[in-house]
């Protein structure tokens, strides 16, 4: 009886411990499936269609640059900004499949789909594009803000964003373009401090926004990158870096499953021995 209780306690403990790892594996697989689907659809598009989608994004960004921009903190309880909610031209631009692009951050080993808006449903499955910021493009005079959670147990998303440092690179894939950004600042600000998200006529900027501190969320972390020439070897070399924690995670899960199997097998043999007696 005691042995059964100990096995039951072990199984509960292992399930609780392994849930974040296993759920993250499933989330990662889902992300890669959607990302591959996005790139396949772009590959199948005619050049004329790609040009039209870029024109839609450019038109949105030009209108945005002429207006008075008001940002809404994506992690507050407020509704999405009025100027983009229901705005068909915004939601129509870059809409290839559910995603409008993808982002690859080699330093923290994530590749994620980017979606319109920052509603809770959106942020639970990937990276949201902050309303009233520029849509990702290769043009100067734009500032795109991409945001994601850090504390979701089911997916790491921007969980390790605090590892990013000045000089690191991240890559935004939009239609047939890969836009490379070099981090020039990492800041911790209060949710209402949005002056850091303003446009610069001379630059192409992308800011990655998430909560800080981890699981407390009283502040916001801004990782800001400026457009630099894309060099494939930089992305490839960073992508090929071995992610040791990932392999440790896989090892722990496999070891746990093997241990459960051994316990079950031992118990089964013990039961048979008792029956034979």
Annotated catalytic residues are: 149, 211
Across the chain, the runs of DSSP E, i.e. the strands, are 101-105, 110-116, 127-129, 142-147, 169-174, 177-189, 204-212, 219-228
Residue 213, preceding bond cis, omega within 30 degrees? yes
State how beta strands 127-129 and 177-189 pair. unpaired
Which pair of tokens denotes residue 230?
């894309």
CB atoms within 10 A of CB 229: 7
Q: CA 10, CA 16: separation in Å to the nearest integer?
A: 10
Which pair of tokens denotes residue 130?
């902050």
Q: CA 176, CA 178: separation in Å to the nearest integer?
A: 7
CB atoms within 10 A of CB 269: 10
Are the beta carbons of 190 and 220 closer than 8 angstroms? Answer: yes
Q: CA 115, CA 99: separation in Å to the nearest integer?
A: 5
Helix, strand or coil, per DSSP, at residue 149:
coil
Burial call 75-106: b when 16+ CB within 10 Å, e when fewer: beeeebbebbeebeebeebbebeebbbbbbbb
Q: Which residue do the tokens 């990302």 mark?
A: 35
């Amino acid at each position: 009886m005691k042995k059964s209780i100990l096995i039951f306690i072990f199984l509960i403990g292992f399930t609780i411990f392994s849930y974040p790892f296993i759920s993250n594996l499933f989330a990662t697989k889902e992300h890669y499936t959607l990302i591959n689907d996005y790139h396949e659809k772009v590959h199948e598009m005619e050049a004329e269609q790609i040009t039209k989608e870029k024109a839609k994004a450019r038109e949105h960004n030009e209108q945005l640059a002429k207006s008075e921009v008001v940002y809404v903190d994506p992690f507050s309880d407020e509704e999405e900004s009025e100027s983009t909610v229901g705005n068909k031209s915004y939601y129509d631009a870059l809409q290839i499949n559910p995603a409008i692009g993808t982002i690859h951050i080699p330093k923290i080993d994530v590749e994620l789909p980017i979606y319109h808006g920052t509603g809770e449903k959106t942020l639970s499955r990937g990276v949201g594009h902050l309303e009233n910021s520029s849509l990702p493009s290769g043009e100067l005079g734009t500032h795109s803000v991409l945001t994601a959670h850090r504390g979701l147990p089911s997916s790491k998303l921007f969980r390790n964003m605090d590892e990013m440092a000045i000089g690191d690179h991240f890559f935004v894939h939009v239609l047939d373009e890969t836009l490379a950004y070099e981090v020039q600042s990492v800041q911790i600000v209060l949710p209402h401090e949005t002056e850091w998200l303003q446009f610069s006529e001379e630059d192409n900027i992308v800011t990655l926004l998430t909560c800080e501190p981890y699981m407390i969320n009283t502040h916001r972390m801004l990782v800001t990158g400026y457009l630099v020439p894309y060099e494939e070897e930089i992305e490839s070399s960073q992508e090929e870096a071995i992610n040791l924690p990932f392999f440790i995670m896989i090892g722990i899960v496999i070891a746990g499953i093997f241990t459960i199997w051994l316990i079950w097998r031992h118990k089964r043999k013990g039961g048979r021995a008792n029956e034979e007696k």
